[in-house]
A and B are shown apart, each in its own frame.
Chain A
Amino acid sequence: MTEQSRVAALSNVSLERRAWNIRRKALLMGEVQGQGYIGQALGIADVLAASYFHALDYRAEDPEWEGRDRYLLSIGHYAIALYAVLMEAGILPEEELETYGMDDSRMPMSGMASYTPGMEITGGSLGQGLGIAVGMALGLKRKRNPAFVYNLMSDGELGEGSTWEAAMSGAHHKLDNLICLVDFNDQQADGKSTEMLCSEPLGDKWAAFGWHVQRVDGNDLAAVVEAFDAARAADHVGPRVIIFDTTMCKGVPFLEAREITHFVRVEADEWSKALAVLDEGKPA
């Protein structure tokens, strides 16, 4: 049991409510800018809730604590979602929510390590996170530090050759402290990722590269939690990957139903509508 899951077990806030809080904060940040990668944020909220309130070891008051699990956001544009969970976890102050994407903000549109407590790397040039994660996992092993390195990436990044260099490298170096999280929402800038450069059969690919593989519904919290537990505990001499099939805009049905692309267009009057819809489904 991690330090954080012990805290979570004592908390009376459910994971469902954490995920709902993350979605709500992301929508509020989107409203500030009138735009943002809200589709991705709503889709990944359950994975982030399970990450920060079940799986990860960290200290909110000391985000650079040496014993923390490292959580890398390779997909820099998902920053809006990570800021939401960092606020929910108490690593970022909620009072700064409305600075999102503004001048002098600690929360720029694309995530950068130098701006934000809790942001481990500068993502955004897609396909870089997993390679950095390999180096951090090697470094932790050299230090005999038992922390895990998590790399959160997207299905679009599977098109980058560097992802597969890193995948091969992680297995070659038997990095059982490395857990890759793939958000498979089947969307990228020009359309469906499976129609741009198809990565299927994806589980077979990772397995062939020597990884312990799970593929679960990334919007089913119980399944997500179970997958994190299984990834950490797996009796496998090598790295682990969890592929999360997620639904863009999850939790706001009228946006889910929209013809969704990488960048979901939300009209000015729709932010409050989206918040109202979300509020209707507020969990205990």
Chain B
Amino acid sequence: MTMNSLARKHEPRRVIPKEERAATSAMIASLAAEGYDTVSAPFGHALAEAARKDDRIVGLTADLGKYTDLHIFAQAMPERFYQMGMAEQVLVSAAAGMAREGFLPFATTYAVFAARRAYDFIAMAIAEENLPVKIVCALPGLTTGYGPSHQATEDLAIFRGLPNMTIIDPCDACDIAGMVPQLVAHPGPVYSRLLRGKVPSVLTRHKPDYKFQLGKAQLIREGADVLVVSTGFMTMRALDAAVALERDGIGVAVLHCPTIKPLDTATILAEAGKSGRLVVTAENHTKVGGLGEAVAGTLLSNGVTPSFRMIGLPDDFLEAGALPTLHDMYGLSVAKVAEQIRGWL
């Protein structure tokens, strides 16, 4: 339960006057990214493009085609699209069956439903068999204000424990478009988080030659005082925070780590091993069992022991509300990321 809400359950609330209301609400599903251009439905377009070159690709969804951008693929090649209805267990089992028959299924739903409801089926029918099923899930971590039913704050922890799974948390439209052909080429199962709708273009703004590489962490910017190892859209927040901190004379390097598993330990160790920098991990996920603990384990196991801090969600069921408010509340906003880093120096 969400403790704060429970404590105030019977407390009447005032209606915020129209002119004071935030411009957004729990209903806004696209990620706010001020100052960045956006690309519409990069996953759907990239998958349709990949499918034109590879007959094995099929798309399946559990009543969330429109909300995972798979409708773009479905419109492009309707005969290769399978609407499985609101039935996540058969969604992933049937995807496993199609993979057994030589197809390359992309199965989409929300991250909570894949990680929580369909887990045993993903574990046994797909991961244990090492089948090339690509599970692509919208609403990762805290990207909706609906509350815990839709907030997949522990999906990375759940799938990190599953052998054979490759796990990806893309940052932006460039990552998403870039990863699709690499998922096709990868022979095993993949769990990927997804940003849908109007998705910001972030990484090439900061590093014009950036290209997604499966299994690789890439340094997006240099900095002498702090190394942020980040994944998913938290790389965007880290980059924006780094720009803000630069004005205060604080140099922040950002190492973007979209592949959570297998972790690019060589690059992380090399960057974290450079002396003197505070190492901070940043993820849109509970601090339990996500990128932060994976990086910490890697550093300690290899005798690399910089000052180390983690930015991530608390071990709690989160509040409902408007996303910008929640990101501020839980430390994922640009201002809060910068504030936390400043406080640790």
Taking the nearest CB of chain A, how far is it from the CB of B101, in angstroms? 3
Q: Is the CB of A135 within 8 A of B87?
A: no
Q: Is the CB of A139 within 8 A of B101?
A: yes
Q: Is the CB of B101 within 8 A of A122?
A: no
A-B contact count (CB 8 A): 95
Assembly CA distance A130 to B84 (angstroms): 14
Q: Which residues of A contact B125 (CB under 8 A)?
A: 121-122, 128, 131-132
Binds A, one of B90-98, B172-180, B323-331: B90-98
Q: Is the CB of B90 within 8 A of A169?
A: yes
Q: A114-B129, A125-B120 are in contact. Are A166 and B90 (CB under 8 A)?
A: yes
Assembly CA distance A130 to B93 (angstroms): 8
* Interface presence of A248 (CB below 8 A): no
Q: Is the CB of A138 within 8 A of B93?
A: no
Which residue in chain A gives the minimum CB-CB distance to B94?
A135
Q: Is the CB of B58 within 8 A of A168?
A: no
Query: Which residues of A in the span 112-133 have a Cβ within 8 Å of any Cβ on B?
Result: 113-114, 120-122, 124-125, 127-128, 130-133
Q: Is the CB of B90 within 8 A of A134?
A: yes
* Interface presence of A220 (CB below 8 A): no
Q: Is the CB of B82 within 8 A of A131?
A: no
- Proximity bits, A157-170, B CB within 8 Å = 1, else 0: 00001100110110
Q: Which residues of B contact A172 (CB under 8 A)?
A: 85
* Interface presence of B297 (CB below 8 A): no
* Interface presence of B89 (CB below 8 A): yes
Q: A114-B129, A125-B120, A125-B124 are in contact. Are A132 and B89 (CB under 8 A)?
A: no
Query: Which residues of B in the span 84-130 have a Cβ within 8 Å of any Cβ on A?
Result: 84-85, 87, 89-90, 92-103, 105, 120-121, 123-125, 128-129
* Residue picked from B97, B99, B124, most chain A C-beta under 10 Å: B97
Assembly CA distance A114 to B124 (angstroms): 12
Q: Which residues of A contact B84 (CB under 8 A)?
A: 169
Q: Which residues of A contact B93 (CB under 8 A)?
A: 128, 130-132, 134-135, 162, 166
Q: A113-B129, A122-B124, A125-B120 are in contact. Are A169 and B101 (CB under 8 A)?
A: no
* Interface presence of A180 (CB below 8 A): no
Taking the nearest CB of chain B, how far is it from the CB of A142, in angstroms? 7
Q: Is the CB of A131 within 8 A of B85?
A: no
Assembly CA distance A253 to B122 (angstroms): 42
Q: Is the CB of B82 within 8 A of A139?
A: no
Q: Is the CB of A139 within 8 A of B97?
A: yes
- Proximity bits, A187-218, B CB within 8 Å = 1, else 0: 00000000000000000000000000000000
Q: Is the CB of A135 within 8 A of B100?
A: yes
Query: Which residues of A in the span 266-282 have a Cβ within 8 Å of any Cβ on B?
Result: none
Q: Is the CB of A143 within 8 A of B128?
A: no
Assembly CA distance A113 to B126 (angstroms): 12
* Interface presence of A137 (CB below 8 A): yes
Taking the nearest CB of chain A, how far is it from the CB of B119, in angstroms? 11
Which residue in chain B gives the minimum CB-CB distance to A129?
B93
Query: Which among B85, B89, B103 is the interface contact of A142 at CB below 8 angstroms?
Result: B103
Q: Is the CB of B98 within 8 A of A131?
A: no
* Interface presence of A109 (CB below 8 A): no
Taking the nearest CB of chain A, how far is it from the CB of B92, in angstroms? 8
Q: Is the CB of B97 within 8 A of A136?
A: yes
Q: Which residues of B contact A169 (CB under 8 A)?
A: 84-85, 87, 90, 94
* Interface presence of A140 (CB below 8 A): yes
Q: Is the CB of B89 within 8 A of A139?
A: no
Query: Which among A128, A136, A162, A168 is the interface contact of B100 at CB below 8 angstroms?
Result: A136
Q: Is the CB of A132 within 8 A of B87?
A: no
Query: Which residues of A in the span 85-134 have a Cβ within 8 Å of any Cβ on B?
Result: 113-114, 120-122, 124-125, 127-128, 130-134
Q: Is the CB of A140 within 8 A of B101?
A: yes
Q: Which residues of B contact A165 (CB under 8 A)?
A: 87, 89-90
Taking the nearest CB of chain B, how far is it from the CB of A205, in angstroms? 17
Q: Which residues of A contact B129 (CB under 8 A)?
A: 113-114, 121-122
Q: Which residues of B contact A130 (CB under 8 A)?
A: 93
Q: Is the CB of A168 within 8 A of B85?
A: yes
Q: Is the CB of B94 within 8 A of A134?
A: yes
Which residue in chain B gives the minimum CB-CB distance to A145?
B101
Assembly CA distance A194 to B30 (angstroms): 49
Q: A125-B124, A165-B90 are in contact. Are A132 and B85 (CB under 8 A)?
A: no
Q: A131-B97, A134-B97 are in contact. Are A139 and B90 (CB under 8 A)?
A: no
Q: Is the CB of B121 within 8 A of A128?
A: yes
Q: Which residues of A contact B95 (CB under 8 A)?
A: 135
Beyond the given A132-B94, A136-B100, A166-B90, please list 7 additional residue pairs across the A-B interface where CB-CB is below 8 A: A122-B124, A122-B129, A125-B121, A131-B89, A139-B98, A162-B93, A169-B84
Q: Which A residues contact B (CB, under 8 angstroms)?
A: 113-114, 120-122, 124-125, 127-128, 130-140, 142-143, 161-162, 165-166, 168-169, 172-173
Please give me the 8 A-B residue pairs with the lowest Cβ-Cβ distance, nearest first: A135-B97, A131-B93, A139-B101, A135-B94, A136-B97, A162-B89, A165-B87, A165-B90
The contact sample of 26 A-B pairs, CB cut-off 8 A, is: A122-B125, A125-B121, A125-B124, A128-B93, A128-B125, A131-B89, A131-B93, A131-B96, A131-B97, A131-B121, A132-B94, A134-B94, A135-B93, A135-B97, A135-B98, A135-B99, A136-B98, A136-B100, A138-B97, A140-B101, A161-B89, A162-B89, A165-B87, A166-B89, A169-B85, A173-B82
